[in-house]
Chain A
């Protein structure tokens, strides 16, 4: 299935949408396609909104953001996000629902296990519960300890970028794993976008590397370099220069609009985006560091 078809089929206006990936494997290709298809009123959830949600907020896709850290690490701010929160856009303010990383991880874990909430020892002394009434407490029935709780998060659709999958969507990820497994299992619909489609034999030869089983996957899309300017371990490095450049682009709403016009609205798909980024492979292609195989025999 093409990414255009997958987004058209599985992402609807008003949906709760998750594009996960902690620095690694953030599916910019899917974010751009959602922008191109003009989705509106989305509740966007991610631990770290990153540049992709900054772009989707700037493009008017988001009604609400559920998150735990909204910055551009080492490079600056997410300025479209900040303008929307600081009331500088003139439009309807962006609704926020804010946790810490542990809280967001707990929300996905509860969602994946189909529990109503997750519990953790956290938030005592912090003022986060005073601005988010969904962070609550429960008394342990065994020890009487008061523990923090966060509600389950069950997205309408989760989009996960992976290094490879077979045609059924059995997806293998190595390198940083983030919360993709929990987010996918928590979700009603799952789209897997991969660098490479492989034969089922390749997956079966190394089953411990499968993070998302095809049985929960609704669509498999092949989109090489689909995570750029994020990265895919063993395929290409993070485009840190672009993350630094985003500070200047996002600070100026007119420049940000020109960026979207040229690199998102101005191209039909990811292939068009890559045509506008010549030399990526020469600059970012990963060096080889192969792991030795293991014996799965019995």
Chain B
């Protein structure tokens, strides 16, 4: 997943980095094809060049050797709302048919079954980043037809499109999962997530079993190359030797 996400990033792009796998993906891209990727963390580190894989988005290693450190008011006003962020990363406990994302509650807001952390910076990233990439493992629990709560807007919220809502960014254009990549259909097409590319050895039925709605499939599906030996070595031996994000 991290290598697939890394390949989505072009050299020189400005990326708002989230914690977890996006962090690994961005640092992998920087170590391979995108050495001039500009990493901005919501904590205020701009042009970060961390010497160790950051444990959190507030890690002190993000400061050491970065281009700029600014307060969070500047991060959200001068960088994000200003339109300077080209790519944002999002994840969530639930992602629905229109790529609306829930990081707030499972169940009702007043009497939640599970209280999740909340928005953090996700709502404004979903609104302002020129495009966003979502990373999440496939399962029907994670991909219901409708999220329990819309924390961050996708392509259609209660029937209203992004254009009608006046949202500046293009929203979640791709959802990178552990089996496939889903893409958002055009706004005229309804903005719904459709199956666009498969990992090696994965069948369409495997992906459809992992989402809670009748997933449409592009007429021609791309095949995703597995990570190269070089990418695997970088991730396992250099970027994440302690397996913080890769898992055991």
- Using a CB–CB distance below 8 Å, which chain A residues touch chain B? 22-24, 47-48, 67-71, 73-74, 77, 81-82, 85-87, 98-102, 105, 108-109, 120-128, 131, 145-146, 174-179, 181-182, 231, 233, 237-238, 240, 286, 289
CA distance A162 to B149 in the complex (A): 38
B168 sits at the interface (CB 8 A): yes
What are 29 pairs between A and B in contact, CB < 8 Å? A22-B72, A23-B57, A24-B58, A68-B119, A68-B120, A70-B118, A77-B117, A85-B112, A86-B113, A100-B123, A105-B73, A120-B77, A122-B81, A124-B165, A124-B167, A125-B154, A125-B157, A127-B149, A128-B151, A175-B60, A176-B58, A176-B63, A177-B69, A178-B71, A181-B71, A182-B73, A238-B60, A240-B55, A289-B65
Q: B45 within 8 Å of A by Cβ?
A: yes
B213 smallest CB distance to A (angstroms): 19
Cβ of B174 < 8 Å from any Cβ of A? no
Which B residues touch A47, using CB under 8 A?
72
Asked if A71 and B117 sit within 8 Å, CB to CB, the answer is yes
Residues of B within 8 A of A109 (CB): 73
Q: Which residues of B line the A interface, CB within 8 A?
A: 19-20, 42-45, 55-60, 62-65, 69-73, 76-77, 80-81, 100, 104, 109, 111-124, 126-128, 149-154, 157, 160, 162, 165-168, 244
**Residue of chain B at shortest CB distance from A244:** B55
Of the listed residues A47, A105, A127, A289, the one surrounded by the most CB atoms of chain B closer than 10 A to its CB is A127
Given A100-B124, A125-B150, A128-B151, CB of A70 within 8 Å of CB of B167: no
Q: Provide the residues of chain A in CB contact with B19, threshold 8 Å.
A: 73-74
**Contact present for B118 and A98 (CB under 8 Å):** yes
Q: Which residue of A lies closest to B116 (CB)?
A: A71
Main secondary structure of the interface of A (DSSP, over half): loop
- B55 touching A74 by the CB < 8 A rule? yes
Nearest B residue to A120 by beta-carbon distance?
B81
Complex Cα spacing A128 to B19, Å:
22
For B110, give the chain A residue with the smallest CB separation: A131
The interface centre, meaning the residue of B43, B128, B152 with most chain A CB atoms within 10 A of its CB, is B43
**Interchain nearest-CB distance for B167 vs A (Å):** 6
- Contact indicator A102/B76 (Cβ below 8 Å): yes
Shortest Cβ gap from A260 to chain B (Å): 22
